[in-house]
Amino acid sequence: MLYREALNKAIDKTMEMDETVVVLGEDVGLYGGSYRVTEGLVAKYGERRLIDTPIAELSIVGNAVGMAIGGLRPVAEIMTANFGLLAFDQIINHMAKYRYMSAGKITLPMVVRFPQGVSRQLAAQHSESYEQMLTAVPGLTVLAANDINYAYHALKFAIMSDDPVVFIEHELLYNKKGEIDFENAIDPLKARVVKEGQDMTIVSYLKMLDDVMEAVPEIEKQLGKSCEVIDLCSLNPIDYETLETSLKKTGAIVVVEEDHKTGGFGSQIVSWAAEEMFYSLDAPPLRLAGEDVPIPYNRTLELASIPTPDKITDKIIAWGKNNGL
pLDDT digits (tens, 9 = 90+) for 312-322: 999 999 999 99
The catalytic residue among 5, 77, 94, 126 is 126
Class level of CATH domain 3-170:
alpha beta
Return the CATH number of the domain spanning residue range 192-322: 3.40.50.920
58 pLDDT exceeds 90?
yes
Verify whether residue 57 is a known catalytic residue: yes
User: What is the enclosing helix (H) or strand (E) of 112?
Assistant: strand 111-116
**Cα distance between residue 186 and residue 47, in whole Å:** 32
**Cα distance between residue 250 and residue 247, in whole Å:** 5
Q: From 90, 77, 107, select the one nearest 11 (Cα to Cα).
A: 77
Q: Locate CATH 3.40.50.970 in the chain.
A: 3-170
Instruction: Give the predicted TM-score (pTM) of the model.
Output: 0.95
Q: At residue 312, what are phi and psi to the nearest 5 degrees? A: -60, -45
Map residue 279 onto helix, strand or coil.
helix
Question: What pLDDT is attached to residue 268?
Answer: 96
325 pLDDT exceeds 90?
no
Verify whether residue 131 is a known catalytic residue: no
CA distances from 25 to 9, 42, 189, 212 (A): 18, 13, 26, 33
Question: What pLDDT is attached to residue 3?
Answer: 97
Question: What pLDDT is attached to residue 33?
Answer: 92
**Cα distance between residue 181 and residue 212, in whole Å:** 24
Mean pLDDT of 269-280: 96
Q: Locate CATH 3.40.50.920 in the chain.
A: 192-322
pLDDT tens figures, 214-253: 999 999 999 999 999 999 999 999 999 999 999 999 999 9
Q: At residue 171, what are phi and psi to the nearest 5 degrees? A: -65, -20
pLDDT tens figures, 177-197: 999 999 998 999 999 999 999
pLDDT tens figures, 88-97: 999 999 999 9
Q: β-strand 227-231 against 192-195: which pairing, if any? A: antiparallel
Question: What pLDDT is attached to residue 116?
Answer: 97
Geometric angle at alpha carbon 145, from 17 and 60, rounded to 5°: 65
The catalytic residue among 57, 77, 257, 258 is 57
Question: What pLDDT is attached to residue 324?
Answer: 84
